[in-house]
Structure 1
Amino acid sequence: MIMQRLKDKVAIITGGAGGMGHVAAKTFTEEGACVVLADRDADKLQAVVKEVSAGGAKVIGVAADLTSQADREKIFEEAVKAFGKVDILINNAGWGCKLPFLETDEASFDRSIELNVKATYYMTQLACKQMIKQGTGGKIVNTSSTAALQGERNGSIYAGSKSAIIAMSKAIALEVGEYGINVNVVCPGFTRTDNNGHIPSAIDDNFLGITPTKRINVAQDIVNGYLFLVSEEARQITAQVLPIDGGFSGTRAMQAAQNASMMVK
């Protein structure tokens, strides 16, 4: 149900050319926000902007490489130029290096750190500076992963970079809370989006076997978490981590069948 929870708010959403960023743009504009979408894929970005704005929503796209400080600054400059302020930042962009530990090369390591850690850190810093300047507070949601909460095969640097997002978000929240800025983290589990159709369906079966809800995440599930954490209902929530995964990170579910024979007698 649309409630206009973000009426008159201005939100920056990174990774806006597809997947969760695309769905977030539609959801946030439906809730009344003006949206600034950032992505390095200029063509896909403009296609999303055209789609989302077709019904009259206020949305702009900024083609930007989030590993560049100049481009990161450009996103905020364009947001303020278009809408006069920034109330919300959704750090949704990221990269999933899925290589065995013994095969992870330096280029993959560096890209993971540059995009997942450094870009998130400095986008958050720029947002906080703008929000402090405005004097009206704000909401920031950084995107980690359930890989940061559990060991994940072939994901050592991915898990490490996503763990860093949790740690630094909590520390930042401690420093900026006095300015009325909330900083929280969402940890998506495996999520089907329009960006990962190449992943075989067998992966879904693996996750279904360990997921209490017996359903695979879709992008809207994650976006609903974003929406809650930037709403007024969450004004007293900061420095927190919200896993959205159907419950598998909160249980000891195993893919192997278990029965009462495992009980100690």
Structure 2
Amino acid sequence: MSVIKGTIDLAGRTVLVSGAARGLGAAFAEACGRAGARVIIADIRTNLAQETAQGLCGEGLDVASYAVDLADPGSVEQLGADIVRDYGCLDGLLNNAALATGIGGKGLDEIDIETWDRVMTINVRGTWLMTKAFAPLLKASSRGGRLVNLASDTALWGAPNLLHYVSSKGAVMAMTRSLSRELGPFGVTVNAIAPGLVRVEATDYVPEERKQLYVDRAAIPRAQLPADVVGTAVFLLSDASGFVSGQVIPVNGGFIAA
């Protein structure tokens, strides 16, 4: 009898990735497709999401795109209804979408209430709404449902001048642990990935000093790229991770541990 249970591929699985029109989300979608999954991209940038999906389809992957606005509960509900109608199943949900671009560099007394509330609405409430919308499909998955949330290692080391984002990702970590206990009895695993500073378009605005900090203090002293993160996501969405749940996994070259 083999001691290895499950494989680290996504063959036969249907996976939804939010915020996958560009950057790290698009890298997640591509990695899932190359691992054999049928991939659904959901993003507020509908035109860009369509372009990304079409590009991946042109490479022989099975990828479709849908519109969703995590700040709008009705939009999330509509996405859920669309996926039920068009697919009837879902084996994996990767909650990647978040508000992060261009909001840093402000101290706690400089953040305006409107921005604070919008970060929390998208990053925290939006993650909950997506999970709520798709939990029934994940519970019904014959393969064992997989839920992966994108946290951030900023919440592990307490990055300064980014309090609203750091707080939102700390909430995502706590949500992950609670959800793992609620969904575990249904065979659904729930985990979070906490990347470091991934060099993508969305992080171009980050000051060079902060970028260099991540290089200088990492165990692997180089810039982090999307390719450094996607393997962990594929593992957590695969059959091989069936007894891993409630975990926050830092993927940052050893910059900080959980």
Q: TM-score, normalised by structure 2?
A: 0.90
Q: Is the 8 A contact 1:95 1:112 kept in 2?
A: yes
Q: Is the 8 A contact 1:12 1:90 kept in 2?
A: yes
Aligned to 1:196: 203
Secondary structure of the corresponding residue to residue 218 of structure 1:
coil
Aligned to 2:214: 207
In structure 2, the gaps of 5 or more residues are: 1-6
Cα displacement string for residues 140-170 of structure 1 (whole angstroms, at most 9, x for unaligned residues) = 0001111111221111111111101111110
Residue of 21, 24, 30 corresponding to 1:20: 24
1:238 equivalent to 2:242? Answer no
Aligned to 1:41: 45
CA distance in 2, matches of 1:4, 1:243: 19
How many residues of Structure 1 are paired with residues of Structure 2 in the alignment? 249
Aligned to 1:171: 178
Secondary structure of the corresponding residue to residue 104 of structure 1:
coil
1:249 equivalent to 2:234? Answer no
CA distance in 1, matches of 2:56, 2:227: 15
CA distance in 2, matches of 1:205, 1:9: 38
Secondary structure of the corresponding residue to residue 203 of structure 2:
coil
Aligned to 2:3: none
With a CA cutoff of 8 Å and minimum separation of 6, indicate the structure with the bigger relative contact order: 2
Displacement, 1:8? 1.4
Secondary structure of the corresponding residue to residue 249 of structure 1:
coil
Q: CA RMSD in A?
A: 1.8
Residue of 56, 63, 76 corresponding to 1:59: 63
Secondary structure of the corresponding residue to residue 65 of structure 1:
coil
The 3 A distance-change label for structure 1 pair 101 and 47 is same
CA distance in 1, matches of 2:155, 2:205: 23
Aligned to 2:234: 227
User: Which amino acid in 2 is paired with 1:228?
Assistant: F
Aligned to 1:70: 74
In structure 1, the gaps of 5 or more residues are: 252-265
Aligned to 2:83: 79
1:11 equivalent to 2:20? Answer no
Q: TM-score, normalised by structure 1?
A: 0.88
